[in-house]
Amino acid sequence: MSDVAARATAGFRQRYGAEPAGRWAAPGRVNLIGEHTDYNDGFVLPFALPLRTVVAAAVRDDGRWSVWSELDDEPVEFGPAEADEPGRVDGWAAYVAGVVWALRAAGHAVPGARLAIASDVPVGSGLSSSAAIEAAVLAALLDLGGLDLPAGRWPRLAQRAENDYVGAPTGIMDQSAVIRGRSGHALFLDCRTEAIEQIPFDLDAAGLAVLVIDSRAPHRHADGEYAARRKSCERAAKALGVAALRDVAAADLDAALARLDDSETRRRVRHVVTEDQRVLDTVELLRAGRVRDIGPLLTASHASMRDDFEITVPEIDTAVEAALAAGAYGARMTGGGFGGCVLALVDADAADAVAAAVAAAYADRGFTAPGTLTVRPAGGVARLD
């Protein structure tokens, strides 16, 4: 953490020749289980990662915004006109302009600001580097402007930045995880009501570890495929006469499927309905302290994403199979799909061996070597100083 915070401060000093007024940090996330259920008004169980994005910032008196990040040499600058027109700022800076836009659209007097961003959350790995930027920038602008927005409303606002300014039709999971995550817990979120429950997820006490494997698979049309899955879920809900697929109970799944006439839609619906149930079952097991026993649910979630929702790719399936063959209790892709990361639940002292087994399977198939790290649930967005 201290390195990334120091990089943000150094970037601020170097670009703006001044001291920041403060620093704000937000994490990346993984999703333990509940994939593509958020925009179906369903259930998710993500947790925040120890990897952070840090924003160093100070007010700027002319009511404009400049943003520098490690990804670019020069700061991006924009004013109210660009901020008020979705799409005018693009690239990574769109996540920053999107937050300014969402705050202004909600009637807040957002102060102009200089911002410098450094991040340990890898970009493009499906660990929500964009939600981390949104959350850290949101926290910074609220504090700098002395604006009052209860924490419970932050995720929806950050999601609007992404949906309506950036133009990505994502659900509310990522922003909720990075804003409301708590150390040692997974966040059980009802995406319809936004009710949350912090579920203890103490890996150390159970002698377990979560291994995150970056598949390094090139993203293959991920945006278009994500939007297509979302559309097909919405069409199915309409055909079934429900507000969202969350309203189809697992016990009524067969009857619902019988009312749908194409097999692709039936598979999509089956994924969402069974996935919601797997989240509920996982929460029950964790509440009972049976951490190891969630393994089969993780693996079943993967099979459902692979066979029914059809969002996995060969690298991802290879990583899951190799982790399971090497003794993982369960393994699944995490995030939107078509690349990104796999998580595996393993005995803490077996993490290295499982990582090595995945690397060997990758080498056999001629894939680019995967990245691996072990993670614990960490806290959400916070001001550092």
**Residues in contact with ligand GLA by the rule CB under 6 A:** 31, 35-36, 38-39, 170-171, 173-174, 335-336
Q: Count the residues in the chain.
A: 385
Shortest approach of ligand GLA to residue 344 CB, angstroms? Answer: 18
Calpha distance 287→200 (Å, rounded): 7
Contact 152, 194 (CB under 8 A): yes
Shortest approach of ligand GLA to residue 328 CB, angstroms? Answer: 21
Shortest approach of ligand GLA to residue 360 CB, angstroms? Answer: 29
Q: CA triplet 189, 171, 243: central angle to 5 degrees? A: 85
Q: Left (φ > 0), alpha (ψ -120 to 50) or beta: where does 216 sit? A: left
Shortest approach of ligand GLA to residue 39 CB, angstroms? Answer: 6
Active-site annotation holder among 120, 174, 214, 276 = 174
Question: Would you say 22 or 167 has its CB closer to ligand GLA?
Answer: 167
174 is catalytic: yes
Question: Would you say 295 or 340 has its CB closer to ligand GLA?
Answer: 340
Give the CA dihedral 228, 231, 236, 239, nearest 10 degrees.
-130
Calpha distance 227→124 (Å, rounded): 17
Calpha distance 112→115 (Å, rounded): 10
Question: Would you say 112 or 339 has its CB closer to ligand GLA?
Answer: 339
Contact 358, 2 (CB under 8 A): no
Calpha distance 200→382 (Å, rounded): 20
Calpha distance 94→126 (Å, rounded): 18
Give the CA dihedral 34, 35, 40, 44, nearest 10 degrees.
30
Of 37, 31, 28, 34, whose CA–CA distance to 179 is shortest? 28
| Three-state DSSP class for residue 197 | strand
User: Which residue type, as a one-letter code, is found at position 8?
Assistant: A
Question: Would you say 172 or 378 has its CB closer to ligand GLA?
Answer: 172
Calpha distance 121→58 (Å, rounded): 23
Shortest approach of ligand GLA to residue 138 CB, angstroms? Answer: 16
Shortest approach of ligand GLA to residue 55 CB, angstroms? Answer: 20
Shortest approach of ligand GLA to residue 309 CB, angstroms? Answer: 10
Question: Would you say 82 or 174 has its CB closer to ligand GLA?
Answer: 174
Calpha distance 80→97 (Å, rounded): 9
Residue indicated by tokens 């899951």? 320
Question: Would you say 77 or 225 has its CB closer to ligand GLA?
Answer: 225
Calpha distance 357→374 (Å, rounded): 15
Calpha distance 93→77 (Å, rounded): 9
- Residue numbers annotated as active site: 174
